[in-house]
Amino acid sequence: MKSVSFAEMQEALKTRPKTEFLFRGIKEKSFGIIFGPAKSGKSIFSENLAMSIAVGRKSFLDSKLSGIPKRTLFIGLEEF
């Protein structure tokens, strides 16, 4: 494996496209898991966030969204 100097990493970072975030640290084209205690509102929060992104809302819970409709996939694992 080739080692890379810090200066090379800095230069590569300048040319890399900026990371687009959908909502508070959720990167575009990524996935994640929302977890917490039972009956704490995880499903309602997740469903509303997914719908807000899908229809192209400009904000959700006072956080900026792109305003551009995007495809979303919501998988509920409550049955498992």
Q: Report pLDDT digits (tens) over 7-33.
A: 999 988 888 888 788 888 888 888 878
74 in a structural domain: no
How many CA within 13 A on the CB side of residue 58? 0
60 in a structural domain: yes
75 in a structural domain: no
Query: Quick check: 56 and 71 in contact, CB under 8 A?
Result: no
Q: 59-60 and 21-23 as β-strands: parallel, antiparallel, unpaired?
A: unpaired
pTM of the model: 0.70
Q: What percent of the chain has pLDDT over 90?
A: 41
Domains in the chain: how many in total? 1
Taking the C-alpha atoms of residue 76 and residue 14, their distance in angstroms, rounded to an integer, is 38
34 in a structural domain: yes
Taking the C-alpha atoms of residue 52 and residue 6, their distance in angstroms, rounded to an integer, is 40
Q: Report pLDDT digits (tens) over 29-79.
A: 888 788 889 889 998 999 999 999 999 999 999 999 989 999 988 887 766
Q: How confident is the model at residue 80 (pLDDT cuts 50, 70, 90)?
A: low
Average pLDDT over the chain reads 87
